[in-house]
Structure 1
Amino acid sequence: MNNKKILDTSTILESISDGVFSVDNDWKISSFNRAAEKITGVKRNDALGKYCSEVFRSSLCGDQCALRETLRTTKPIIDKRCYFINNQGNKIPVTLSTAVLKDAQGNVIGGAETFRDISEIETLKDQLSKTAKTGHLFSNSTAMKSVIAMIETIADTSTTVLIEGQTGTGKEVTAHALHQLSDRNKQPFIGVNCAALPENLLESTLFGHVKGAFTGAYENKQGYFSRAGSGTLFLDEIGDISAAMQVRLLRVLQEHEFEPVGSQKPQKTMARIITATNKDLIKLVEEGTFREDLYYRLNVIKINLPTLAQRCEDIPYLVEHFIEQFNTLHKKSIKGISSEALQQLQTYHWPGNIRELENSIERACVLSPSNYLQLSCFPFVGENCSATQILSQYDTGTESHLAKAVSTLGNSKKEAERQVIIEALKNNPSKIATAKTLGIHKTTLFRKMKRYNIPF
């Protein structure tokens, strides 16, 4: 005899957080669970026996009724969005799913509908839409709120701005926000990564060239300073430009004019210049590799971007934003992330900052076997043991045990990074694509592959 307890259907329905109700063939409510009471504000006894339209007052009532469509076609409807009006007259956004109810003989005896309150998600989306004009610079952290306040204050000026921050902290997004909030937003925004181009190509790209200036210059070509007009020119990785390029850029900032390569005729520029770097420019000035006068020309106003670890309060917002973004891009239907996974994401150190988080969410959305991202979707985070957790496993009263603990911590992080790289290599067509997915330069990828003995 089977001694296992079997829960009846009513017990199961009372234990879930989704609202569930059923109707008979006369469209009268025949069951109504506790979650349905909570979401609608209507007591079960007041709902039973009434027409569903009297209880829910849904945006889909009438000809657009999802349950009516299911009973007509016998096909279920999954996660359709609409809203209910609750007993207090408030609009409650929900997603609903429908199904046909049949008896043991296969006769249709009514229909069932489940619905989930998505008020919090809709509130978040509203917050995101309100910040769209600032390039999705939303934040709950004090450090980032001060950055946003600075952006709003200086956006409408023509002042040169220097943005400093680690790789992946959102320097280009910040530059876009400055442009979008300014009266230049109808003009071009042009960005260039100064570290990605050799000096001669960077010079031609920025200033343009005239026909015959060098081999292959078959015609006159406008540079970015010219094409930007009175818009914004964003120069990323400004700390990597050569000494000769520093001199040319200094003249632009001082005189607001430049000469195309091969020309001696100066041209005026009205573009606002925003620069960014992940390097310590003051240190470069002290070392003599960056001109002091150029530094002070660039550093009229400085914006320091915090790392993602310094603004971990924003991770839930960023995760929701990226899920929505990649659902659209990859035609996925990810509904959210488990609380366990989100908690781990908020404690991870994120060396690649927001770019690493974005890449991680994209990978998880593409590979997730379910509609909710689980901790298993982020293997590198699962391996992320904190120093406290590692040290707690040992008696740190002796130096030898402490050394063993520190060694274990280091090995754990290295193995986690090695596994992430191997997984990324499997899921990308090339090493360049792999580096892009990981948010690192290709040379960094090659160096790490060599360090971890990963076959090329």
Structure 2
Amino acid sequence: MTADSTQSAPPPQSDTLRRVICVARAPNNALLAEMRSAGWEVVVAKTAAGAEAATKKSGVAAGLIDFDGFTPRDFPTLKACLSQTAIGWVAIAAEGQTASKAVRELIRNFCFDYVTLPLPPEWISHALGHARGMAALDYVDTAADTLLTDDSTMVGTCEAMQQLYSTIRKFANTNASVFISGQSGTGKELTALAIHRCSPRRKAPFVAINCGAIPHHLLQSELFGYERGAFTGADGRRIGRIESANGGTLFLDEIGDMPFEAQAGLLRFLQEGKIERLGGNESIPVDIRIISATHVDLEAAILAGRFRTDLFHRLCVLRINEPPLSARGKDIEILAHYVLQKYKTDSTHKIHGFTPSAIDAMCSYHWPGNVRELINRVRHALVMAEGRLLTPRDLDLESQPAGERMTLDRIREQAERSAIETALLSHDHRPGETATALGISRATLYRRMVAYGIYVAEDTALDDTDEELNGDVSN
């Protein structure tokens, strides 16, 4: 997920749970009296501007709106009022009153209920209570989740995320280099940003560079900068990313894609704490903290000669293993609701949440693209949805067609994969301890990790004396 966060409005407080807005050109005084006698605190708005001002006040739990007398010029403002997540709206109309197509669409897309007057006094109270309750269910209290900083969007309450939050807080208090490993789309940059924001360097720059997105021949100039005339096209001095992060944090994403020749220059900087711009002779001291990340297996890259061992040890003083989404359990539902709230304006009508089958589909899906894929699927669903609740079809997670139904082997594979990922997280990705906890040999664990595409975060080189290599394949 990205680092900026637009939090939804807080739910109504306990002492204002019965505060309601009545939007009407000509309010029905008898109805207002009935509502007040039923215990509702009523705020009356006779114009669209008045309704907009009223919805911005805290503690409003529900709204009652009569469209009679409002013109199409008022509809954009009224639509903005009806879109307030924390307010449940009920539309009212006098018996025999007809509504235009635009009004019908507003009622259908944004109101929880529609009632016709006259009606028994207790009915309107029941309708408002229902709308208030549905709005409260639609609200996602992201503040209750463990967020590391006021503007962070790291959302999650599962054990793996709690461990991650704890590790981030500990790492933030040191200046040692941090290496973040994990699958693509798990939020490694968010973790790096959280470390920076929790550290004494929080007021200094956080500079990120994707080593895999910059052409190899330009990477050194991006990192170290250059002087005028250093090469063709160098018309002036340019400060590099390292120098621009002075006093703060430099995040090197996809460090595993850094070309071998650039690795030597980075290693020299880490050893000396000084840089030289390309084409210059001046040694410039720079004080930064390095955080790096990659989705590739750097140990394997070292064995293949693609990554320097000495640089790896400089970068990997402290290590964090980012948990995959498939190992985060109920966090999937929390994240889905968070994304829904953040991008709800992508939809042409008000979406209230997910169907139970959609929640089940998301929780059973293996999420190869992790959080990034979840964000994309929910945003796609918001655009494609025709109803008020997102379905598996909207998320493109419909059940497999007949003939491709889940077999017992497939169910067992999913359960085994989940058990391995959970055990790895519990034992800090130590293969020996993980294998012992699972009751299998280390070789069996490694073979199944490879089969399921689980990232090997630690050295998993096998001992030729391992019992499975000697013929024991009972596990």
Q: TM-score range by the shorter chain?
A: 0.5 to 0.7
List per-residue Cα deviations over 1:314-353 (Å, max 9, x = no partner): 1111111111221246676322111111110110011111
2:91 is aligned, of 80, 83, 98, to 98
Pick closer, same or farther for the CA change 1:80–1:53 going to 2, 3 Å.
farther
Query: Aligned letter for 2:383?
Result: V
Q: Give the secondary-structure state (helix, strand or coil) at the position aligned to 2:185.
A: coil
What is residue 70 of structure 1 aligned with on the other side?
A: 66
Give the Cα separation in 2 of the matches to 1:316 and 1:150. 24
What is residue 229 of structure 1 aligned with on the other side?
A: 246
Point out where structure 2 has 5 or more consecutive residues left out of the alignment.
1-21, 47-53, 55-59, 100-115, 411-475
What is residue 42 of structure 1 aligned with on the other side?
A: none
How far off is 1:381 after superposition?
4.8
1:290 aligns with 2:299: no
Pairing of 1:193-208 with structure 2 (within 5 A): 193-208=210-225
Pick closer, same or farther for the CA change 1:327–1:82 going to 2, 3 Å.
closer
Check the 8 A contact 1:162/1:275 in 2, yes or no.
yes
1:55 is aligned, of 26, 38, 52, to 38
What is residue 27 of structure 1 aligned with on the other side?
A: 30
Q: Give the secondary-structure state (helix, strand or coil) at the position aligned to 2:43.
A: coil
Q: Give the secondary-structure state (helix, strand or coil) at the position aligned to 1:376.
A: coil
Q: Give the secondary-structure state (helix, strand or coil) at the position aligned to 2:239.
A: coil
Check the 8 A contact 1:135/1:174 in 2, yes or no.
no
What is residue 118 of structure 2 aligned with on the other side?
A: 109
How far off is 1:54 after superposition?
2.9
Normalising to structure 2: TM-score of the pair?
Answer: 0.64
Give the Cα separation in 2 of the matches to 1:385 and 1:159. 54
Check the 8 A contact 2:343/2:379 in 1, yes or no.
yes
Give the Cα separation in 2 of the matches to 1:67 and 1:321. 24
Check the 8 A contact 2:226/2:237 in 1, yes or no.
yes
Give the Cα separation in 1 of the matches to 2:338 and 2:403. 27
How far off is 1:198 after superposition?
1.9
Point out where structure 1 has 5 or more consecutive residues left out of the alignment.
1-21, 30-49, 84-92, 394-456
Q: Give the secondary-structure state (helix, strand or coil) at the position aligned to 1:133.
A: coil
Q: Give the secondary-structure state (helix, strand or coil) at the position aligned to 2:323.
A: coil
How far off is 1:121 after superposition?
4.3
How far off is 1:133 after superposition?
3.3
List per-residue Cα deviations over 1:81-112 (Å, max 9, x = no partner): 899xxxxxxxxx65122211316999963695
How far off is 1:56 after superposition?
3.7
How far off is 1:291 after superposition?
1.3
Q: Give the secondary-structure state (helix, strand or coil) at the position aligned to 1:51.
A: helix
Check the 8 A contact 2:178/2:320 in 1, yes or no.
yes
Pick closer, same or farther for the CA change 1:392–1:296 going to 2, 3 Å.
closer
Identity of aligned residues (%): 30
Query: Aligned letter for 1:272?
Result: R
List per-residue Cα deviations over 1:214-241 (Å, max 9, x = no partner): 1111111110111112121110111111
Give the Cα separation in 1 of the matches to 2:282 and 2:199. 31
Query: Aligned letter for 1:51?
Result: E
List per-residue Cα deviations over 1:186-243 (Å, max 9, x = no partner): 2221111101112221111111011111111111111011111212111011111122
Give the Cα separation in 2 of the matches to 1:198 and 1:237. 13
What is residue 305 of structure 1 aligned with on the other side?
A: 322
Check the 8 A contact 1:58/1:82 in 2, yes or no.
no
What is residue 420 of structure 2 aligned with on the other side?
A: none
Query: Aligned letter for 1:318?
Result: L
List per-residue Cα deviations over 1:351-401 (Å, max 9, x = no partner): 1111111111111112212232111112245339999822489xxxxxxxx
Query: Aligned letter for 1:345?
Result: M
What is residue 326 of structure 1 aligned with on the other side?
A: 343
Higher helix share: 1
Give the Cα separation in 1 of the matches to 2:166 and 2:401. 34
How far off is 1:308 after superposition?
0.7
How far off is 1:294 after superposition?
0.9
Q: Give the secondary-structure state (helix, strand or coil) at the position aligned to 2:376.
A: helix
What is residue 422 of structure 1 aligned with on the other side?
A: none
Query: Aligned letter for 2:38?
Result: V
Give the Cα separation in 1 of the matches to 2:202 and 2:42. 38
Q: Give the secondary-structure state (helix, strand or coil) at the position aligned to 2:350.
A: coil
Give the Cα separation in 1 of the matches to 2:245 and 2:162. 29
Check the 8 A contact 1:210/1:217 in 2, yes or no.
yes
What is residue 390 of structure 1 aligned with on the other side?
A: 407
Q: Give the secondary-structure state (helix, strand or coil) at the position aligned to 1:217.
A: coil
Q: Give the secondary-structure state (helix, strand or coil) at the position aligned to 1:275.
A: strand
Pairing of 1:103-182 with structure 2 (within 5 A): 109=118, 112=124, 113-114=127-128, 115-117=131-133, 118-122=135-139, 124-127=141-144, 133=150, 135-182=152-199
Give the Cα separation in 1 of the matches to 2:401 and 2:318. 37
Give the Cα separation in 1 of the matches to 2:97 and 2:338. 45
List per-residue Cα deviations over 1:167-192 (Å, max 9, x = no partner): 11111111111122223222221111
Give the Cα separation in 2 of the matches to 1:385 and 1:301. 49
Check the 8 A contact 1:191/1:235 in 2, yes or no.
yes
How far off is 1:122 after superposition?
3.8
Report which structure shows greater RCO (CA 8 Å, sep ≥6).
2
Q: Give the secondary-structure state (helix, strand or coil) at the position aligned to 1:375.
A: coil
List per-residue Cα deviations over 1:397-439 (Å, max 9, x = no partner): xxxxxxxxxxxxxxxxxxxxxxxxxxxxxxxxxxxxxxxxxxx
Normalising to structure 1: TM-score of the pair?
Answer: 0.66
Check the 8 A contact 2:209/2:252 in 1, yes or no.
yes
Query: Aligned letter for 1:101?
Result: A
Query: Aligned letter for 2:191?
Result: T
Query: Aligned letter for 2:310?
Result: D
Check the 8 A contact 2:148/2:165 in 1, yes or no.
no
Query: Aligned letter for 2:132?
Result: R
How far off is 1:289 after superposition?
2.2
What is residue 433 of structure 1 aligned with on the other side?
A: none
